[in-house]
A and B are shown apart, each in its own frame.
Chain A
């Protein structure tokens, strides 16, 4: 597992209060992890803070699984 994945999963566990083993890369924030649209806004803000990346709204709207988030961050972090 990549370092990005570890840090993303930690943030998801902390924000959504879910068990760590449920946060698989294929897990959907809304369907599998109980998030609502505002939780995703908050998660995206936490990713921005953690990785020093900017995730614009149109990109954020396309992030629906844990893997989507990891991929976006790996592609954009400095």
Chain B
């Protein structure tokens, strides 16, 4: 099998719209949470979110930098975030100008969990109130989940595999894992891979709140709401943004002298086959996903120094993931650090696995692991596990494991290491 490495990174998150700014803010322990400003949320049970900050903010996102004006008007926010993050990643890899022959062998696999919910919600009102003849001709392709891949491959002329994963909150991790396999299997030499989400709208917040998934006890102190593994956690805080990486076949990357961040050496996938929203009560799916990724990597348990947990800050999910990690790692759990960066940027749903994989890669690069914010009173089950409370920690990081689990009982794990 051909080896697959990461040669470019791109991020749009509530803590910034470029990789180094996001990482610096994350390591500094900043929170991207705040009251919802996108719409009047006063009648919502949950009135907080981790929003991408507007242009002009210290670490805001200026869509006009990389996304055509016309496209910005026609598509939902998740596509705008995705195009920007993918463009950043290609620029970082130095691959914005490839020959036609190279572009035949370059593709994209950038998905989303939910897709264009804000636009579907608003256009349904246009159809209802003004009639079908007022519905935008750009309505459909401005909302479809595979249209980040569509837009980006058109922008850069990439003619290889054209793919998009939809596995709820596992989307980003599955996207990277699947795309890495496409390169390993010789379907492509270069793949843009990742995920995006932009579902902070009345319907999105209400839907997750009604499913009892969102935090509702911290509406007056939003930065304290996302508190994975803490006794007082009561649900996740919705985030938005995108993470995209450039994956490249190793020999090709080496031959062109590319900057190589990491190698993707293990990918595991599993299903809970249990319940649409609740995780398996024994964490069976999570366990098997991690176990497969580790087995494929050829590493031993003791080689994993950092786990970026799914850790959404829900009462049940955090406990079950930790239990699965404990059972898999046994005594080796004492040697690793595990944190949930959702404590800082919220839950990016379909973007989460990709953004968090990038955090794992930066942990490998800088030999530092990001913190779990708000972990004031760890649950009893946390004893003996370094969950990196409050502040980032300098430590040896040789190999990393990233977990993502989603509604529908879908699980993905990735193992990466430095070269």
Contact = CB atoms under 8 A, between A and B. Distances in A.
Contacts of B66: none
Interface in A24-78: 34, 38-39, 41-42, 45, 49
Interface in A1-37: 15-17, 34
A41 B137 contact: yes
Contacts of A45: 133-134, 136-137
Contacts of A34: 70
Size bracket of the B interface = under 10
B270 to A, nearest CB: 41
A59 to B, nearest CB: 14
B69 A42 contact: no
Interface string B348-368: 000000000000000000000
Contacts of B68: 17
B134 A42 contact: no
Nearest to B134: A45
A55 to B, nearest CB: 11
Interface of B is mostly: helix
B73 interface: yes
Contacts of A41: 137
Interface in B131-164: 133-134, 136-138
Contacts of A15: 70, 73
Nearest to A34: B70
A16 B138 contact: no
Nearest to A17: B69
Contacts of A16: 69-70
Nearest to B69: A17
Nearest to A40: B137
Contacts of B136: 42, 45
A19 to B, nearest CB: 11
Q: Which of A17, A39, A49 has the most CB of B within 10 A?
A: A17
B300 to A, nearest CB: 55
Contacts of B133: 45
A57 to B, nearest CB: 10
B70 A39 contact: yes
Contacts of B70: 15-17, 34, 39
A76 B137 CA distance: 23
Contacts of A17: 68-70, 73
Nearest to A41: B137
A54 to B, nearest CB: 9
Contacts of A38: 137-138
B23 to A, nearest CB: 32
A66 B73 CA distance: 21
A30 to B, nearest CB: 13
Nearest to B73: A15
B60 to A, nearest CB: 20
A24 to B, nearest CB: 19
A51 B213 CA distance: 46
Nearest to B136: A42
Contacts of B137: 38, 41-42, 45
Nearest to B70: A17
Nearest to A54: B133
Contacts of B138: 38, 42
Nearest to A45: B134
A45 to B, nearest CB: 7
> B68, B69, B133, B137 — which one has the most chain A CB atoms within 10 A of its CB?
B137
A41 B138 CA distance: 9
A16 B70 CA distance: 5
B65 to A, nearest CB: 14
Given A16-B70, A17-B68, 16 more contacts: A15-B70, A15-B73, A16-B69, A17-B69, A17-B70, A17-B73, A34-B70, A38-B137, A38-B138, A42-B136, A42-B137, A42-B138, A45-B133, A45-B134, A45-B137, A49-B134
Interface of B: 68-70, 73, 133-134, 136-138
5 contacts: A15-B70, A16-B69, A38-B137, A45-B134, A49-B134
Interchain residue pairs A-B with the least CB separation, the first 4: A17-B69, A41-B137, A38-B137, A17-B70
